[in-house]
Each structure stands twice: as structure tokens, then as C-alpha cells.
Chains A and B, each alone.
Chain A
Amino acid sequence: MSGRRSRSKQSTVSRITDDQIADLVSKLQQLIPELRRRRFDKVSSSKVLQETCNYIRSLHREVEDLSDRLSQLLASTDSDSDQAAIIRSLLM
């Protein structure tokens, strides 16, 4: 009896959140450069998630590469406080 109850509860939950999930997936699609151009094509949710994973991995790799680059660049600079102030003012 409790199994039947929980099953119907689950189907109600899935009816409510199916649209939510589709909405969230389309929001993700806008953020991924690969898929942004294909906005009006039908891209499956699993493809969006797949591309999301690839995109996140590439972003992680970029952070690592930039950290590596910065570690080499920092070595060759003196007066960091001046440069830091300049950089900060340029970024704001």
C-alpha cells in the first residue's frame, strides 16, 4: 500500500518538475558557446548535459593553464603593488 502511494507521489513530482527541468536545460544551453548558436534547433537534454560537462572540463583546463602561466609570469615581476593597483583600476 505504501509502495503504491509513493509511486503515485513520484509521478506527480515528475509531472511538475519535467517542465522545470526542460526550462533549466534550455537555460544551460544558452551558456554553452557550442550550443548557443543552435538555439532554435532541437537539442536533446542529454546532448546539452554532455556539452556542459565538456565545457566545464575545458574551463577547468583553462584555469590550470592560466595558473601555470601566472606562476611563470609572477617570477619575473618586481613592484607588484604598483602593478596590482593598475590592474585593479583597469578591471573595475
Chain B
Amino acid sequence: MDLQTSNPNSLKSRFATRFLRALNQINARKPISSSSSPGEIFQRYRRIKVAADMSMAYSVRSRRTWSRATLWRLRTRSRRRRLASLGRRSSVKTRTTTAASHLAAVVVEKTSHGKENKEDDGGGVGVEAEELRELVPGGESMDLCNLLDETAHYIKCLTTQVQVMRTIANLYSLE
């Protein structure tokens, strides 16, 4: 994997630009002082991690099942939080339970269909594939071929994400 890229449309560039923008927004919102509670510090860590995952999923857009699943998961979570913070807790509960049960039904339907094909796996990789399904976003509803294909792309993007984050952290710590 080449580390140097002068292509502004490369995945690395797209991710870096988005992530840096998000970092600026996070820092501008509430700078940490010495009097920050551990809760605030944890909140900032959460925001940065979500920004990193979101930036990568956005850079891939909807071209991949895993990126679609990540975007859906992060969007739904932020929507639920926003609604909850507005105080409409009772309506949120009914909405999320309906949505969650619907999604569960869809996932169950898809995985039970997928199980018919699982017995034809070459090399008996059923157990390990199950583990992999939990790690790759959206993996529960993929057949084995798609799962392996998506996993390869997911790993490439994760390594790019880690590379860029490490570069940024090193540059920031050169102060």
C-alpha cells in the first residue's frame, strides 16, 4: 500500500479532509480545560471516534454494504439521542422498539435464508464466519462470498483510517 498519495480523490485524501474538518468542529464546540470532568473527556473521545468512523463511511458512501450499515447505525443513534434529549422519551421508546423489532425480523429472515447456503461452505468455516459477521458492519445479512469481499474492503479502509489518524496525532504532538 503506497503511503504517499498526491491524488485529491483518493480515499485517504477524502477521509483526511472530512476527519480534519470534524476535528475542528469538535474542538471549537467546547475546548477542554483543566476543570473538565471525566465525563466530558469521555464524551470528546466518543465524538472523535464517531467522527472518524463516520468520515470513513462517508468517504466510501453507499458503494459498500459495510459503509451503508455504519452510516445507518450512526445516524439512527444520533437521531435517537437527539430525540431523547428533547425530553420526548415515551415516543422515542415506541419508535425505537418498532424499528428495532422490524430490523431484527429482517435480519432473522435474511440469516435463516443464509444458513441454507452456509452448509455448502468450502473448508467448514462456519464458526469463524459467524465471528467475522459480528465484526464487519452489516455482516449479519451477507452470504459468505459477499462477507469475504466486504471484509477485504473494510480492512483496507480501516488501515487507511488508522494511518491518517496516527499521522494527525503525530503532527499534533510535535508541539
Contact = CB atoms under 8 A, between A and B. Distances in A.
Interface of A: 10-11, 13-14, 17-18, 20-22, 24-25, 27-28, 31-32, 44-46, 49-50, 52-53, 55-57, 59-60, 62-64, 66-71, 73-77, 80-81, 83-84, 86-88, 90-92
Contacts of B54: none
A74 B20 contact: no
A56 B154 contact: yes
Contacts of B156: 31
Interface residues of B, number: 63
A59 B161 CA distance: 9
Nearest to A27: B152
Interface of B: 5-6, 8, 12-13, 16-17, 20-21, 23-24, 26-28, 31-33, 41, 44-45, 48-49, 52-53, 116-117, 119-125, 127-129, 131-132, 135-136, 144-145, 148-149, 151-152, 154-156, 158-159, 161-162, 164-169, 171-173, 175
